[in-house]
């Protein structure tokens, strides 16, 4: 019944397939050898004694084993199968010895044929045995390929997981279908969730999503994003996307690879700022140094000529320039180094008096009246007095300058008013100077914005605003060009630490 | 009569310094605090030499210089640039000399003396 099947799959002529014929009947062996030669086999005939040598030499895939003494033959069969387990051994048994045939099959023989063997039966049996060997080899090849595949898969998995980037694979609904270890570590269990929910805690897709663009055009897209980890940490990531296609070339998924560039951006922001800063102050500093030379010139000349008036005047100029240079240097130092707030408990009124006393002489020198008022609960408050006082002095000096510059009025007043409530301390700094143009009002707290030309660094109000924000307070400005300006600085009485990210964002822009 | 030098600078402290050193060297001085005023001062005072700052409010030094060179009567007045801007020698190529603040006093006086003879 199997005959038809095997005939179809078997070649009737085989090209030089070696076969070892083991028989004690040399004549029978020659007959078999001749028949097999006709079919294209390369037969080697031997007796039991020679078997092991010949098989070792020929290394056949097929052996034809003729049985004379059943016991000896069985031992030989077992011996051969131990040494050459893949070899197919077809046995020839006496015509009526069906039981022996079965026992040989049990021992591992490929088949048994009754003697005297017909040519047809021999051809079929050997054909089947060859098929078996081929199948066996195919299975072995497949096993080896499978092993390589598994190794590669493991390598891919390992690479995917260990790459120090966030990798996710997303489907068309922007759901994450795969993610690497780093991604899962920082953004939590995310499979099946939407990218924008996991990455950005958003409820809607982000505008200009690179994944959507890649789905649309199949190209690589890149963006820079700010993402939030499950611990709430913000990271700046550089993101690249690439399409993943199925066997028909259709894009079914998109891979997104994101690299954490937070540190680079922070450093870049800082360097840019420092570069801008040095550029912006160099002109002013050069002017101040020249004016300092001028003061020293007068001082030296006064000493040489014993002219006290010149000495005093020279010394005053030197003093003024030294204080301007000092302010610039301090601003630069403040800016080039991140400074922690040094919060202290201070008496609000004493603090206010101190700030006012710093600026009052300058106002009086220019014929500007200086008024100070204290209302409400003064008592004590928490702040970093050094940075707040320098911020307030900066705004007060601006007020005095605005009066000096204003030629439209004969009387000028700068007022410093402190109001205390249980929760808040408010400082009002009012002047009737030249006022601030509307276009300047919007930019006045920006880094390096200055309306003072070479005399300003563009840092004073920026830093004042930053330190007030660091304290959890705010600055409001109300100004009418030609009439005057009022700054209102509100600070909480009790310090609450503020997140610092806003400043960094600003610097990075 | 002493030769007159016009000092154009927006920083009064620097103007004072230049006045001091020029006057002590025997020159007369006059001043303008920005480019817009400077041309009027030139016409009135007719200086023999001008020192010019480049970066001033309202009108920059280069613009003043352009207007000066369009004024037939005064375009031959020599100009020395004294500025806080590095590379200022390119701003006014025809200037007789360029100094970057802070400048060397003796060198400046030497150039002034050479120019005015």
Percent of chain A clearing pLDDT 90 (strictly above): 39
Count of structural domains, chain B: 1
Using the Cβ of B57 and the Cβ atoms of chain A, whether some distance falls under 8 Å is answered with: yes
Contacting residues of B for A286, CB less than 8 Å apart: 84, 100-102
What does the pLDDT look like over A465-500, one tens digit per residue? 888 888 899 998 898 888 999 999 999 998 887 665
- Alpha carbon of B55: minimum distance to chain A alpha carbons (Å): 8
The shortest C-alpha distance from A326 to chain B (Å) reads 17
Q: What is the dihedral of CA B8, B9, B10, B12, to 10 degrees?
A: -110
pLDDT at A504 over 60: no
Q: A10 falls in which pLDDT band (50, 70, 90)?
A: very low
pLDDT digits (tens, 9 = 90+) for A57-112: 999 999 999 887 778 888 889 999 999 988 999 999 888 888 888 988 999 999 99
Instruction: Give percent of chain B with pLDDT exceeding 90.
Output: 51
Residue B107 pLDDT > 90: yes
Tell me the Ramachandran region of residue A475: left when phi exceeds 0, alpha when psi lies from -120 to 50, beta otherwise: beta
| Torsion sign, CA atoms A388, A392, A397, A402 | positive
Q: What is the pLDDT of residue A3?
A: 39
3-state SS record for A431-469: ECCCCCCHHHHHHCCCCCCCCCHHHCCCCHHHHHHHHHH
CATH, residue B39: 3.40.50.2300
For domain A163-260, give the fold: Beta-Lactamase (3.30.450)
- Please tell me the distance in Å from A493's CA to the nearest CA on chain B: 41
pLDDT at A509: 28
- How many angstroms separate the Cα of A225 from the Cα of each of A67, A210, A292? 81, 11, 49
Task: Give the pLDDT of residue A1.
Answer: 39
Looking at the domain A344-508, which fold is it? Answer: Heat Shock Protein 90 (3.30.565)
Strand partners, A251: A245
Choose the closest CB to A454 out of B16, B17, B84.
B84
H/E run at residue A368? none
User: Which residue from B13, B56, B102 is facing A317, i.e. has the nearest CB?
Assistant: B13
Contact A454 B24 (CB under 8 A): no
- Grade residue A339 by pLDDT with cuts at 50, 70 and 90: low
Nearest to A222 by CA among A239, A234, A243: A239
> B33-42 pLDDT, tens per residue?
888 889 999 9
In b/e form, how buried is each residue of B65-91, taking b as 16+ CB within 10 angstroms?
bebbeeeeebeebbbbbbbbbeebeeb
Q: Nearest 5°: CA angle at A144, between A141 and A146?
A: 110
| Chain A residues within 8 A of B86 when measuring between CB atoms | 282
Indicate yes or no: CB of B100 within 8 angstroms of CB of A289.
no
Name the H helices within A306-369. Answer: 308-336, 348-365
pLDDT, residue A191, reads 87
State residue A142's pLDDT score: 94
Pairing of strands B79-83, B49-52: parallel
Distance from CA of A294 to the nearest CA of B (A): 4
The residue segments making up the domain with residue B80 are: 4-112
- The shares of helix, strand and coil residues in chain A, as percent rounded to the nearest 5, are 50, 20, 25
**CA-to-CA distance for A278 and A241, rounded, in angstroms?**
39
Please, are residues B37 and B59 in contact by the beta-carbon 8 Å criterion? no
Question: Tell me, what DSSP letter sits at residue B72?
Answer: T
Count of A-B CB contacts under 8 Å: 59
Tokens of A201: 């805690």
pTM of the predicted protein model = 0.46
- pLDDT of the residue at A442: 67
Task: Say if CB A337 and CB A350 are below 8 A apart.
Answer: no
Q: Does A319 touch chain B (CB under 8 A)?
A: no
Which of A287, A293, A294 is the closest to B84 by Cβ?
Answer: A287
- Residue in A286, A298, A317 nearest the CB of B101: A286
Q: Please name the fold of domain A3-139.
A: Rossmann fold (3.40.50)
Burial class (CB in 10 A: 0-12, 13-18, 19+), A165: middle
Does residue B117 fall inside a structural domain?
no
* pLDDT, tens only, A267-323: 777 777 676 667 667 777 888 899 999 999 999 999 999 999 999 999 989 988 888
Within an 8 Å CB–CB cutoff, is residue B107 touching chain A? no
What tokens were used for B86?
């590095």
Max avg pLDDT among A236-240, A318-322, B23-27, B58-62: B23-27
């Amino acid at each position: 019944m199997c005959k038809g099947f095997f005939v179809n799959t078997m070649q009737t002529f085989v090209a030089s397939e070696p076969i070892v014929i083991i028989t004690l009947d040399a004549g029978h062996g020659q007959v078999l050898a001749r028949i097999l030669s006709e079919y294209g086999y390369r037969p080697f005939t031997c007796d039991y004694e020679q078997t092991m040598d010949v098989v070792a030499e020929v290394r056949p895939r097929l052996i034809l084993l003729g049985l004379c003494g059943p016991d000896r033959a069985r031992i030989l069969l077992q011996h051969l199968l131990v040494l050459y387990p893949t070899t197919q051994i077809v046995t020839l048994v006496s015509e009526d010895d069906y039981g022996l045939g079965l026992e040989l099959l049990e021992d591992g023989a490929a088949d048994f044929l009754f003697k005297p063997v017909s040519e047809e039966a021999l051809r079929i049996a050997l054909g089947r045995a060859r098929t078996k060997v081929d199948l066996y080899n195919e299975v072995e090849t497949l096993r080896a390929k499978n092993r390589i595949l598994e190794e590669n898969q493991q390598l891919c998995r390992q690479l995917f997981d260990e790459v120090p980037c966030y990798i996710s694979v997303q489907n068309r609904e922007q759901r994450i279908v795969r993610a690497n270890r780093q991604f899962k570590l920082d953004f939590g269990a995310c499979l099946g969730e939407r990218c924008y929910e996991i990455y950005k805690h958003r409820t809607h897709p982000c505008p200009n999503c690179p994944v959507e663009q890649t789905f649309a055009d199949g190209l690589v897209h890149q963006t820079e994003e700010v993402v939030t980890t499950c611990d709430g940490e913000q990271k700046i990531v550089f993101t690249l996307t690439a399409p993943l296609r199925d066997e028909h070339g259709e894009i079914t998924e998109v891979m997104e690879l994101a690299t954490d560039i937070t540190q680079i951006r922070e450093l870049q922001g800082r360097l840019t700022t420092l570069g801008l800063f040095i550029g912006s102050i160099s002109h002013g500093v050069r002017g101040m140094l020249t004016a300092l030379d001028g003061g020293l010139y007068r001082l030296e000349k006064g000493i040489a000529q014993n002219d006290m008036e010149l000495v005093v005047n020279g010394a005053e100029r030197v003093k003024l320039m030294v204080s301007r240079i000092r302010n610039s240097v301090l601003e630069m130092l403040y800016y080039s180094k991140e400074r922690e707030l040094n919060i202290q408990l201070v008496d609000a009124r004493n603090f206010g008096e101190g700030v006012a006393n710093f600026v009052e002489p300058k106002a009086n020198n220019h014929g500007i009246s200086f008024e100070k008022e204290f209302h409400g609960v003064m008592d004590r408050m928490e702040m970093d007095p050094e940075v707040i006082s320098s911020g307030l002095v900066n705004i007060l000096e601006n007020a005095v300058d605005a009066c000096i510059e204003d030629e439209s009025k004969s009387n000028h007043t700068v007022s410093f008013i402190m109001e205390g409530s249980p929760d808040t301390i408010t400082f009002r700094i009012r002047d009737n100077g030249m006022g601030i143009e509307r276009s300047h009002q919007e930019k006045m707290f920006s880094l390096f914005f200055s309306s003072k030309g070479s005399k300003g660094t563009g840092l004073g109000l920026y830093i004042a605003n930053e330190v007030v924000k660091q304290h959890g307070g705010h600055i409001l400005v109300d100004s009418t060009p030609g009439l005057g300006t009022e700054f209102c600085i509100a600070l909480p009485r009790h310090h609450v630490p503020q997140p610092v990210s806003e400043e960094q964002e600003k610097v990075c822009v | 009569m002493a030769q007159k030098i016009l000092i154009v600078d927006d920083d009064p402290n620097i103007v004072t310094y230049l006045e001091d050193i020029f006057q002590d060297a025997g020159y007369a001085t006059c001043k303008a605090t920005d480019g817009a005023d400077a041309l009027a001062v030139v016409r009135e005072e007719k200086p023999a030499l001008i020192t010019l700052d480049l970066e001033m409010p309202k009108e920059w030094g280069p613009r003043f210089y352009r207007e000066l060179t369009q004024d037939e009567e005064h375009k031959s007045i020599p100009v020395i640039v004294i500025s806080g801007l590095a590379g200022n020698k390119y701003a006014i190529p025809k200037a007789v000399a360029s100094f970057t603040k802070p400048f060397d006093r003796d060198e400046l006086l030497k150039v002034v003396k050479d120019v005015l003879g």
